[in-house]
Structure 1
């Protein structure tokens, strides 16, 4: 009788533990299958990679490895499940990228798409689309430069570097690719997209259409302390709005990216955790809120879709770039910008040249100073949608370096004092990819 009671007690405990695990973990399955379907479809239909390449190289780590996924070529979509549950579908739309469909939701019969303004130039890269000039700078130690690239690719299994490029004095002086990637392969920038989004605000300010010190004036905010929030507060991630940026479970950011139809509302609906300017809190929701506010600042949905390409992306020749939108047609400015390594380098070069591209001044030179000036309470690590080295986070890199950073080690480094732009993309970040060591070795090649 005692043994039966003991066994019954353990059965009850097992059921309770299993129930608790299911309660906490089961909802995550939709996030996992959603991420997997979305990433597979984007890598295949935007980057032109094979289904097998993505599954074998991108989806074999962590919780993503629990998913079973496949491409559906006839519908330009991908589906994924976890243990046969929580089936999610991601669909590619020409010009808009891939969208992850919420449950019981279908694509609309018609939708607006951006107009592109692509004019190929025969000038050598990076000014045009011709082959880079074979330029040799006597002051550059090219042997040391190759050692720097060797360092980035030395341990493929651990470092997982895919591409790297170095530009000096507006010239491409080194690049390297691996694993089926090349100069024209679009790479997902993840949060590097935030820096692209911020640049659109710099352009609006340069054109006299907006001032970042103004307040957005959202009607629901007028009833409480949120009415004091400015565009500057949002660009600097110091709005005071509550937000949980946790990718390990169900949080504000994962619900936004993998469950929401309109990603611009997730942050706007949050309450204040503190007065604007009193706290720094990194938030992808803030970037998508800014994307929605950008839409409100322009004449109509078509101008909103055209604006980034007409005024920035195609204007500087970043023809490989694609900004994906959510189901409501909003740019996912927090995360979903794709571009080739050379085009990401073009973006860095625009900042190195303080907004000047050819005969065009894309944004005012002071905007480069603005995004690279430290934000209060960030430990001198953050500016305005750009990361900084002002506090010496990377001790072997100059303090004036600022950068667009993204998940899994996507980086565009801008180093004015060295006249350098360095790009690195891959699937690993510190400590697996030792960023300071890479920067030290590359920078050592330049005076």
Structure 2
């Protein structure tokens, strides 16, 4: 009897061990596929959209986070096919393909590429579209930019790539790292969330959406589904109940959605809620991918044509964002959480729209009150409805251990923020917009010193 029990226990343990080994192998394989997908897409955008050296980009952006497998990573840039392939020891291959006007997209298996809809609307000329780099004339402001580009600790470089300063709607200063310039599209990361919020605002202005309506997502249509009660407002504010999606190692919901799924919104809609809607704040990439899907559906039939028409003709063209691209997934949905590429001037143009209360060239494209709504506080946090605020001085963003705001900046400041040091800072009291872009993998971006320094320089200029 004892021997029989021993055999049963041993057999059970063996099954568990085999299952665990298979699970570990699957997770390891997914992790490596995520790594190669990240490399191929980033370098594809670098080579064909930003036109920066892919080897330099790999060394600055990708390799520091992949040192354990960096020796085994291989990538190949095919300039004839406009694609980049990456692999680990010849396995776990990933392929990203560039399409004119749409940027790069990961192609999994035999999936079909969505073609460009061909909307090449001429951007409206901007008042600060100077052909050359505008160097600051004020010596104090020049020193501020010198400091922002300086590397105090080479072991933890800031790698600032671009800074643009607008004051009273005029371009008064800009600077770029070598290999970058006024026309270089740079990855905005989660600045894209603020742009997605603006797309929702445009559709609210047009009467096609309302922030208080339940999210029009087909998979959530059943009243018995806990997701059914989630509103557009809650998705914008990140209190929808969707989980914080960047935890649990490399194979988390965010990474799976970005790098393993052809239809990101369809996947995001399947992720269970962690909390009842409206009760808990949790940073959510999933929610902003769903918002992009909602926006495209509201704008038309929901295909790639509608996505391109919405983004280009309703936002980028009116603002004169000449070098902006909102990349899509294979389903043709803009990656609303994180995949806008634009020049620093373009990002500053977007910030100016919010400084001007949603009006550009005398035309209102955002509803009255939308700008205030976008940076109104959510559940006592430092987040609004697509923008970060400077209203919380204590505590830090959950999990990240980073401050909610920018302590050196005025209270009325609000901002768009992306990973690795991407910022669009808007300071209404100073009539100021600052765009700062870089590849700052470490904590010290210097954004607080930059904002405070620019304001000091402006006050210095105003003195008699």
Q: TM-score, normalised by structure 1?
A: 0.88
Q: Would the aligned equivalents of 2:193 and 2:338 in 1 still touch at CA under 8 Å?
A: yes
SS of the equivalent of 1:75 reads coil
Report the secondary structure of 2:172's partner residue: strand
Residues 50 and 444 from structure 1, CA distance in 2 versus in 1: closer, same or farther, beyond 3 angstroms? same
Pairing of 1:78-93 with structure 2 (within 5 A): 78-93=84-99
* 1:154 matched to 2:160: no
**Which of 418, 424, 429 is the matching residue for 1:417?**
429
The answer to whether the Cα contact below 8 Å between 1:318 and 1:346 also exists between their aligned partners in 2 is: yes
Q: Which shifted more, 187-196 or 62-71?
A: 62-71
1:35-74 residue pairs with structure 2 within 5 A?
35-63=38-66, 65-66=70-71, 67-74=73-80
* Unaligned stretches of 5+ residues in structure 1: 1-14, 137-141
Measure the CA separation in 2 of the matches of 1:82 and 1:150: 40
Pairwise CA distance, 1:52: 3.2
Contact (CA 8 Å) 1:132, 1:171: kept in 2 or not? no
Aligned equivalent of 1:225: 226
**Aligned match of 2:273:** 272
How many Å apart are 1:135 and its aligned residue?
A: 9.9
Q: What is the alpha-carbon distance in structure 2 between the residues aligned to residue 50 and residue 240 of structure 1?
A: 41
Partner of 2:462: none
Counterpart mapping for 1:321-340 below 5 A:
321-340=324-343
In the TM superposition, what whole-angstrom CA distance separates every residue of 1:219-242 from its partner, at most 9, and x where no partner exists? Answer: 442223322111000000111123
CA deviation string 1:70-123 (max 9, x = no partner): 101221100111233211111112222111112x22434x635251211453x6
Instruction: State how 1:202-281 maps to structure 2 within 5 Å.
Output: 202-221=201-220, 222=222, 223-246=224-247, 248-281=249-282
In the TM superposition, what is the alpha-carbon distance from 1:318 to its structure 2 partner?
A: 0.3
TM-score between both structures, scaled by the size of structure 2: 0.84
Distance 1:31 1:135, change over 3 A: closer
Contact 1:188/1:337 (<8 A) preserved: yes
The 3 A distance-change label for structure 1 pair 364 and 94 is same
Change (3 A) 1:21 1:209: closer
- Distance in 1, matches of 2:227 and 2:21, equals 42
Secondary structure of the residue aligned to 2:334 is: coil
How far did residue 209 of structure 1 move? Answer: 1.8
Name which of 118, 125, 129 aligns with 2:122. 118
Measure, in 2, the Cα distance between the counterparts of 1:369 and 1:429. Answer: 31
Deviation at 1:262, TM superposition (A): 0.4
SS in 2 for 1:60: helix
SS of 1:271's partner is coil
Aligned equivalents of 1:248 and 1:162: distance in 2?
A: 29
| Aligned equivalents of 2:132, 2:179: Cα separation in 1 | 20
1:193 and 1:73, CA in 2 relative to 1: closer, same or farther beyond 3 A? same
Q: Which residue of 1 aligns with 2:169?
A: 170
Q: Deviations over 1:6-57 (max 9, x none)?
A: xxxxxxxxx9999997665443111111100010111111112233332343
CA distance in 2, matches of 1:274, 1:57: 38
Aligned residues, how many? 421
